[in-house]
Amino acid sequence: MVGGTSVFLLLLAAVTYLWFSVELPEEPPSLQSAVVLAEDGRELAVLSQEGQRFIVPLEEVNPVVVDALLSSEDRRFYDHGGIDPFGITRALFNNLTSSGTQGGSTITQQLVKNEYLTNDRSLGRKVREAMLSVKLERSEDKDQILERYLNTVYFGRGAHGIEAAARAYFDTTAADLNVEQAALLIGLLSSPETADPVEDMGEATNRRLRVLDDMVDNDVLTQAEADVAASHPIAVNDRTAPPAPTSGLAPHFVEWVRQQTVAAVGEEALYSRGLKVITTLDIEAQQAAEAAVAEMLTDPAGPQAALVALDEDGAIRAHVGSRGYEELKVDLVRGVEGGGSGRQPGSAFKPFVL
């Protein structure tokens, strides 16, 4: 009896010491990608150093995403205090009675691990994770924690957060994701690289089905609704990573805008503050300009070309720096500033000076 009491007191002392010695770190800065927009607000490019990141408030995320997440990852999220003994027990039972594996970590624990800790599997790390999770729950409300998680968790394809994932996989927004899309994305969380539909359609289908089943079991979806969602074929963008800033429309122009923005606000601001850089480029004019250059100069060994179109106020409406960015990254429109040696205008300059 005395021995048992001593052990209990020692454990209590250890827990008390850990509680006061483990401090909750400051919240990491919310890094967001910059977006370059055409004059009508359409997106030209996303500028980011390490994948795409967009911060969206929880109210701008379709509720089906939250339903899918909580059903699959943490059903008692709004009831526990950061750690969930019931969830751990349920996960252990499911792992023993089924062929799959299920984690017992709460969403709060996952957020703590992703933002404050490493992937070390040691007991010490798990204890710190539990302590920090309880402290985080005492300093922020549930919706704040859920919003932070959805904006930072990794979905593969360089996409950090639900908004970036919606763009990377479906060319849509977090607000417009439907049930089957939400189920697919949440199914990716445990191992995004191995379940990308482009890489393994079978695994992606199984993951989506498991999430839909979880939603039915959690009474946020009827069986009929789940069956309809499961019957829809998976259709995602056929790419394994977000496009590079210079791989789409007007690549030379986008690179020039990037350089100008860095000069104006610095790299830290460009790559972390979610800037929206609105330009004067006209997308239809740009498409016509690129098509004109491509149609007139078809020989890869032939001459290069550049084209720039300005309106009456001098605003750039179209900018083609070369026949193809991958073929020649030098921006011939900008001459020396674009990385080239410049060109002598010759007699072509006479109309401007005579």
pLDDT at residue number 237: 85
d(CA 306, CA 121): 56
d(CA 251, CA 330): 11
**Residue 73 designated active-site:** yes
Count the neighbouring beta carbons within 10 Å of the beta carbon of residue 225: 14
pLDDT at residue number 242: 44
pLDDT at residue number 345: 62
Q: Which of 21, 99, 341, 347 is catalytic?
A: 347
Ordered by where they begin, the domains of the chain are 2-30+52-231 (1.10.3810.10), 251-353 (no CATH)
Distances 305 to 110, 159, 293, 326 between C-alpha atoms, Å: 52, 35, 7, 14
pLDDT at residue number 147: 95
DSSP-assigned beta bridge partners for residue 46: 35
Blockwise average pLDDT, block size 10, the chain, 354 residues: 52 46 58 87 82 88 97 91 70 52 75 74 74 83 93 87 92 95 94 87 95 96 96 82 56 89 80 84 92 77 79 91 64 58 60 67
Number of H helices, E strands in the chain: 15, 7
Q: Which of 33, 48, 73, 105 is catalytic?
A: 73
pLDDT at residue number 252: 87
Answer positive or negative: Cα dihedral of 36, 40, 42, 44.
Answer: negative
pLDDT at residue number 22: 54
pLDDT at residue number 329: 57
pLDDT at residue number 222: 95
